[in-house]
Amino acid sequence: AQKVTQAQTEISVVEKEDVTLDCVYETRDTTYYLFWYKQPPSGELVFLIRRNSFDEQNEISGRYSWNFQKSTSSFNFTITASQVVDSAVYFCALSEAFIPGTASKLTFGTGTRLQVTL
Amino acid sequence: DGGITQSPKYLFRKEGQNVTLSCEQNLNHDAMYWYRQDPGQGLRLIYYSQIVNDFQKGDIAEGYSVSREKKESFPLTVTSAQKNPTAFYLCASSISRGPPYEQYFGPGTRLTVT
C-alpha cells in the first residue's frame, strides 16, 4: 500500500525566513509521480508541481524549490524568503502505478500548516 | 474561464436526509474525483470516474453514491447511511490519457449535518 508522511503538522516562521516542508513516501511501484498542492484559507487546492520518479533533478520556480531524493524516498519543498501570502496548508501526494486508459488515484499526506507572520 | 465549480459552498442538512453535492467542469477532462477532508487530515478518495457512465469506488465509498451521465458533471450524493457526513468535500478533474497528470480542484462544499 502506498503512504505519504508529512511529519510536520504545523510550522511558524517570520516573514523572509526560509522554510522546508518535508515529505516522505512509500511505494512498491518503480514508476510513480509525486505532487505538491497548496490549500489557502479559501479551501481550494492549488497545484504546485508534478515530478516523475525518473527525474531526480531539483526544480526551482521563483521562491519555490523542490528536492527529490529517491534514495531516501523524500520530496521536500522549500520556500525561500517566505511571505505572509505563503500561509496555507501544503499537501504532498503520490500517484499509484500508471495503467494506460485509467484515471490515476492520488494518496495524500496529512498536510503541513505553514503560518508566516510579520 | 476554464475551471471546476462546486455548489453550494455551504450546505446544512438534518440527519437522515440525503443530500447531493454538485460538481461541474469545463476543462474537457475525462477523469473526475470526489474527496473528503476532515480537520487535520489529508484528502481521502470517495469515488472517481475515468469516463462517462463509468465510476469506481475509492477508499471510503460507503454511504455515498455518484453518477456520471455527462462528461462535465459528477454529482455526489451523501446518503443517510453515511455515519459521519459532516466534512469538507472537494471535487477534482484531470486528463486521464497518458501518465498521471495533476488534478485540478474546485472550491469545495462544506457540509454540516445536525
| Cβ contact, residue pair B100, A95, below 8 Å | yes
Chain A within 8 Å of B45 (Cβ-Cβ)?
yes
Inform me whether the pLDDT recorded for B11 exceeds 90.
yes
Q: A95: which chain B residues are within 8 Å (Cβ-Cβ)?
A: 100
| Coil/strand/helix, residue B79 | coil
Up-side HSE of residue A98: CA atoms within 13 Å toward CB? 15
Please name the amino acid found at residue B74: F
| Cβ contact, residue pair B102, A35, below 8 Å | yes
Beta-bridged to residue B88, according to DSSP, are B37, B110
DSSP A29-90: -SS-EEEEEEE-TT---EEEEEEETT----EEETTEEEEEEGGGTEEEEEESS--GGG-EEE
The shortest C-alpha distance from B94 to chain A (Å) reads 8
Quickly state the pLDDT bin for A68 (edges 50, 70, 90): very high
Cell numbers at residue A20, please? 522546508
Q: Say which residue, B98 or A44, is predicted with more confidence.
A: A44
Quickly state the pLDDT bin for B1 (edges 50, 70, 90): low
Quickly state the pLDDT bin for B41 (edges 50, 70, 90): confident
Q: Say which residue, B7 or A25, is predicted with more confidence.
A: A25
Report pLDDT for A101. Answer: 67
> Exposed (0-12), middle (13-18) or buried (19+): which is A11, by Cβ within 10 Å?
middle
